[in-house]
Structure 1
Amino acid sequence: MKRKIYAGAAIRDLREARGLTQIDLARRIGVSSSYMSQIETNQRSLSGTVIVELARVLRVDVSAFSSDDNIRLAATLREVLGDPVFSGLDIPLQELRNAALHAPKLGRALIDLHRVYRKVEEKYRSLDDALRATEGNFGSRQSAFEEVRDFFHFIGNYVDSLDRAAEALSSRIAEGPDSLLNRLSCYLETNYHISVSRISPSDGTSFVSNLDRARRVLLLNDTLPRATLAFAVARHLAILAFSDAIEAVVADASFQGTDAGAVCTAALANYFAGALLMPYARFAEEARRTRHDVERLAARFGVSIEQVCHRLSTLQRPGNEGVPMYFLRVDRAGNITKRHSATRLQFARYGGACPIWNIHEAFEAPDRFLVQIAEMPDGDQYLSVAHAITKGGGRFDSVRLRYAVGFGCELAHANEFVYSDVIDARNPRAVVKIGISCRLCDRSDCPQRAIPPFDKGIDVNPDSRNIVPYQLKDIRS
């Protein structure tokens, strides 16, 4: 079906710019004044003949009356109104299209206002971050996930009470000829009278586990990897056996957000599961012995590569600390879905990570571990390792989630990682200069820059063009 074209606002602006009245324009293109009024109020679409006549009289190209601008404007408004600051607004797409069609200047003004708001907000959030770093308190504007992430960051991503409890429980679930999943299932049934049943969803449902307390049955999705199912059983054990300890940690955190407690409870159950499957002393010893080879550690403990990477970032037990590491997980859109750093490396709190960091390249080489020497703007250098992972699957029609995990350490500790064997730290050409994010990075020579830093101006020289079409400059007050 041919799309109807409405361009009332554009026609009105062009007419007024040329000093024509509605009657004048109607007469020149051969239509009635009432017809012209209906065109400018978008009550009538434009025919091919009218478009040609309007282009001739107003001396513009026919593309000036395309409705593509309205479609793009509606899409941009939809993205802007997705900002959490507009939470509670549920504006239908058709209403946004009407706004773009009938009030495009108002729509663009809203977009410009939101752009200014985000710029100011980012500036003050950076100040908030600096204040939190010195005062150790949490901001009131954080989401529940951000507040919980900051909680784990400030405690060094290590929870001693749960870690030691998980280690003690692991010693009771002794190693044997049976699989880890079966040993955990047997312990759950023996001590809590909950049987474990594996089912294969007939419709490709993506659930992992479901505890039916009334029937005392824990259902597991049998199409998923055994490492995923073992982690799921361990997570339910955490809630069943150590809910009081978890609640005590949550209470001590004194979260400000109403949902942060529930988010933290789930995160602590996951933390316990990781500590149960990879008990601290044995895991730390194996990590040192294998030089942090995550594939060997995953095989040794019967867990996934992501679980190993996450566990390595928690080895902060006083007196038996592991190498200070960073860990993050990103999706294909560049969103950081997990992050922790026991190093000085900082992640972007909002938006994606630096585009030249090797974690983005990992999606292009899913069977490889990518190794990079990454240098931050402050001069600190890191051994940076990235690897793509796929979660889910097990059948043709099941949901598959694709992520990339990144981990590493300051270059001074690089020799403790097997991945350093493939780099030459003495070669300056091997160093890749990255940043936190484009908005927070003031490197003036980065060819991958997407947008200027929020605190810098730009200088565009019409006589010179580089890969990035502007130069950065300080904003003078």
Structure 2
Amino acid sequence: MSQIDLQIGYKIKSKRRSLGISQADMAKKLSISPSYLNLIESGKRKISVDLLLKVANELGIEISDISKKTDTNLYQNLMDVLGDNLFEDLDITNFDIKEIINTSPLIAKALIKLGDNYKKKNQEIVSKVENISGKFIDNQKNSFPGEVVSDFIQENENYFPKLEEFANKVFSEIQNDNRTSYLPLCEYLSKKHKIEVKNVIPDEKKPFTKKFDPTKKTFLLSDYLTLTTKKLHTASQIVHLEANDILDEYLDTFKFPSEESRKLSKVALLNYAAAAILMPYKLFYKECMEQRYDFELLQNTFATSFEQVAHRATCLQDLNMKGIPFHMLRTDVAGNISKRFSLSGIEIPRYGGACPRWNIYSAFTAPGKIHAAISKMPDGEKYVCIARTVEKGIAKHGMFKSLLSIGLGCQIKYAKDFVYTDALNLNDKNTEVPIGVNCRTCDRMDCQQRAFPPLHKKFDIDLNKRGISVYVAD
């Protein structure tokens, strides 16, 4: 039995069950015996192309949905969990992990949830030990809410059509020459909700970004914010007032482990819809196609920030106007990943930092400049990746600003549609940067930047010899 047969068989069985069709009834529709269908669903028999077409037709799904590769995000998340030293003596291989995912993705998700809980409990113990005075915060319900948000966004492929429809209606009322400006947003709140938007300079001892007082009908925005951020917050307030039911409808489809993670996911949806008001789908898609995703130009076109444009570009998943399937992540200088999402197929680590060879890290060496590279994964897949730093913080002289790096990329087959590949020689293999996901899951033993040994390979330290790193003798 092959991994592909297991994967196809599971997907057929899963979809059949979700539709409430018995195995006997399904076999009858396909003109095969129930026992033969059982063998297919168990991954013990290959399925012919003709039969696969019949199955897809009966289940109402695309063939590509049945036969696509292993879920890379699920694979990487499970790799991160089972890569813990706790499982070191079990010699769990990549094949074992793929088999779990292909035969039972629900079991894989359960293991990931257990892994999250295990790390959360460890974090609680560390907190209690470090705070011997007893003044510690109970993190039982608050640990890793950002990871839950990423899972929620990933499950929906960062596309929420009902919010797109809502945003388009708002845009049609406030747009001026097919653009969204700050003042019309403020006027919309004033006319429709009797809310006054006030731009104020907060007390430095008690800074804030925004404050909404439903009793006084005031919406305060800090003058420490850039205009692009003010626009996003104002649009977000409109969404909160008018589309709360839509937000809850999406949130109710996901099982959140805590109220905090649900609220944080709601913030993500508010920002999603706000960005859709500033950059309405049809117009944004049209500009992306014409300008080949020139993010700097798109910034000017829609008067938004680089990060807002990059994030919006990952949302173009309407089947009738589908954009490039991107991946996106955001990290700080310490390697902490605060945003992660992938439709490109590239694997992004769930815990800790990514591979140091990713240009999202080298972008810190030249702030504000867009870095482009061809990145090659150990499995041979190539991606066009760009990265650029952005500043976050109070826009005031003498105030500290944090520096973050935004990384975004796609499979190399989309290179002709991505303007940042124009300066790259796609045929020169010497320009390809060999990368991995992170050191613990990477096969590359010839990497000078390896910080940890790979979990799935045994190694011996030879005191008389040393290769390219301490973990390689030859």
When normalised by structure 2's length, the TM-score is 0.71
Task: Please list, as runs of the form range in 1=range in 2, the aligned pairs for 1:257-268 lying within 5 A after superposition.
Answer: 257-268=258-269
Query: Where does residue 389 of structure 1 map in the other structure?
Result: 390
* CA distance in 2 between partners of 1:177 and 1:285 (Å): 12
Which digits, 9 at most, give the CA deviation of each residue in 1:346-394, with x for residues without a partner?
Answer: 1011110100111101111013111100001111001010101102232
Q: CA deviation at 1:173?
A: 1.1
Amino acid across the alignment from 2:314: S
**What is the CA–CA distance in structure 2 between the aligned matches of 1:133 and 1:181, rounded to whole Å?**
49
Residue equivalent to 1:102: none
Query: Which aligned pairs between 1:12-91 and structure 2 lie closer than 5 A?
Result: none
Deviation string 1:313-369 (CA, Å, 9 cap, x unpaired) is 111012111011111111111111101111110101111010011110111101311
- Cα pair 2:374 2:431 within 8 Å, conserved: yes
Task: Give 1:200 deviation, angstroms.
Answer: 1.3
Aligned with 1:117 (options 80, 83, 86): 86
Q: Does 1:449 align with 2:469?
A: no
Q: Is the 8 A contact 1:204 1:399 kept in 2?
A: no
Is the contact made by 2:171 and 2:180 (CA closer than 8 Å) also made in structure 1? no
Instruction: Quickly say closer, same or farther: Cα 1:345–1:115, change in 2 above 3 A.
Output: closer
2:366 equivalent in structure 1: 365
2: CA distance, partners of 1:351 / 1:232 = 30
Aligned identity (percent) is: 32
The 3 A distance-change label for structure 1 pair 123 and 386 is farther
Residue 220 of structure 2 corresponds to residue 192 of structure 1: no
Equivalent residues in 2 for 1:153-168, closer than 5 Å? 153-168=154-169
Question: What SS is found at the alignment partner of 1:456?
Answer: coil
1:426 match: secondary structure = coil
Q: Distance in 2 between matches of 1:136 and 1:318?
A: 25
Instruction: Quote the offset at 1:201 in angstroms.
Output: 2.2
Aligned residue for 2:443, secondary structure, equals coil
Change (3 A) 1:264 1:127: farther
Report the equivalent of 2:281. Answer: 280
1:378 corresponds in structure 2 to 379
Counterpart secondary structure, 2:330: strand
Q: Which runs of 5+ in 1 are unaligned?
A: 1-113
Structure 1 residue 116, shift from structure 2 partner: 3.6
Deviation string, structure 1 residues 217-256 (Cα, Å, up to 9, x no partner): 1110112110011001111111111001101111122334
Aligned to 2:210: 209
User: Does residue 1:425 correspond to 2:426, yes or no?
Assistant: yes
Deviates more, 1:422-431 or 1:247-256: 247-256
Q: CA RMSD in A?
A: 2.7
Aligned ranges 1:401-440 → 2 under 5 Å: 401-440=402-441
Tell me the distance in 1 between the aligned counterparts of 2:178 and 2:324.
Answer: 32
Report the 3-state secondary structure (helix = DSSP H, G, I; strand = E; otherwise coil) of the residue aligned with 2:247.
Answer: helix
Alpha-carbon distance between aligned partners in 1 of 2:94 and 2:202, rounded to the nearest angstrom: 45
Q: Which amino acid aligns with 1:169?
A: V
Bigger Cα displacement from structure 2, 207-216 vs 169-178? 169-178
Query: CA shift at 1:135, angstroms?
Result: 4.7
SS in 1 for 2:380: coil
Q: CA deviation at 1:125?
A: 12
- For 1:320, the equivalent position in structure 2 comes to 321
Residue-pair matches, total? 360
CA contact (8 A) 1:123 1:455 kept: yes
Distance 1:255 1:126 in 2: 30
Say yes or no: does 1:235 pair with 2:204.
no
Q: Do 2:446 and 2:468's aligned partners in 1 also have CA atoms closer than 8 Å? A: no
Q: SS state of the match for residue 243, structure 2?
A: helix
In structure 2, what is the Cα distance between the partners aligned to 1:271 and 1:386? 21
Of stretches 242-251 and 459-468 in structure 1, the one that deviates more from structure 2 is 459-468
Asked if 1:252 corresponds to 2:253, the answer is: yes
Deviation larger for 458-467 or 337-346: 458-467
Q: Is the 8 A contact 1:206 1:398 kept in 2?
A: no
Return the letter of the residue paired with 1:363: F
For 2:470, the equivalent position in structure 1 comes to 469
With over 3 angstroms needed to count, the CA separation of the structure-2 counterparts of 1:204 and 1:384, relative to structure 1, is farther
Q: Which residue of 1 aligns with 2:48?
A: none
CA gap of 1:210–1:417, structure 2 versus 1, over 3 A, is same
Q: Does structure 1 residue 346 correspond to structure 2 residue 347?
A: yes
Read off the aligned partner of 1:117 and give its amino acid letter: L
Contact kept, 8 Å, 1:347 with 1:353, in 2: the verdict is yes
Provide Cα deviations, 1:92-147, integer angstroms capped at 9, x if missing partner.
xxxxxxxxxxxxxxxxxxxxxx9843858996999789756765544333443323
Residue type matched to 1:317 in 2? D
Change (3 A) 1:176 1:207: farther
Distance 1:206 1:360 in 2: 30
Query: What is the DSSP-based 3-state SS (H/G/I as helix, E as strand, rest coil) of the residue aligned with 2:403?
Result: strand
| Ranges in structure 2 where 5+ consecutive residues have no aligned partner | 1-82, 117-143
Which whole-Å deviations, capped at 9, do the CAs of 1:233-282 have from their partners, x for residues lacking one? 11111111100110111112233444332222111111111111111000
Q: What is the identity, as a one-letter code, of the residue corresponding to 1:241? A: E
SS in 2 for 1:240: helix
Q: CA distance change for structure 1 residues 211 and 133 in 2, over 3 Å: closer, same or farther?
A: farther
Q: CA deviation at 1:177?
A: 11
Distance verdict in 2 for CA 1:212–1:422, change over 3 Å: same
- Distance in 2, matches of 1:134 and 1:207, equals 49
The structure-2 alpha-carbon separation of the partners of 1:178 and 1:171, relative to structure 1 and needing over 3 Å to count, comes to closer
Report deviation, 1:433.
Answer: 0.5
Cα gap change, 1:242/1:179 in structure 2, threshold over 3 Å: closer, same or farther?
closer
CA, structure 1 residues 381+154, in 2 after alignment: closer, same or farther (shift >3 Å)?
Answer: same
Q: Structure 1 counterpart of 2:303, which letter?
A: G
Single out whichever of 379-388 and 208-217 deviates more from structure 2: 208-217
* Contact persistence 2:174–2:180 (CA under 8 A): no
Give the aligned partner of residue 307 of structure 1.
Answer: 308
Structure having greater relative contact order (Cα 8 Å, sep ≥ 6): 2
Q: TM-score, normalised by structure 1?
A: 0.70
CA contact (8 A) 1:329 1:406 kept: yes
Shift of 1:397: 3.6
Q: Which has the larger radius of gyration?
A: 1
> Deviation string for 1:60-93 (max 9, x for gaps)?
xxxxxxxxxxxxxxxxxxxxxxxxxxxxxxxxxx
From the superposition, tell whether residues 351 and 119 of structure 1 become closer, same or farther in structure 2 (CA, over 3 Å): farther
8 Å CA contact 1:335, 1:352 repeated in 2: yes
Structure 1 residues 165 and 121, CA gap change in structure 2 (3 angstroms)? farther
For 1:152, give the aligned amino acid.
Answer: I
Instruction: Kindly state the Cα deviation for residue 468 of structure 1 after the two structures are TM-superposed.
Output: 0.6
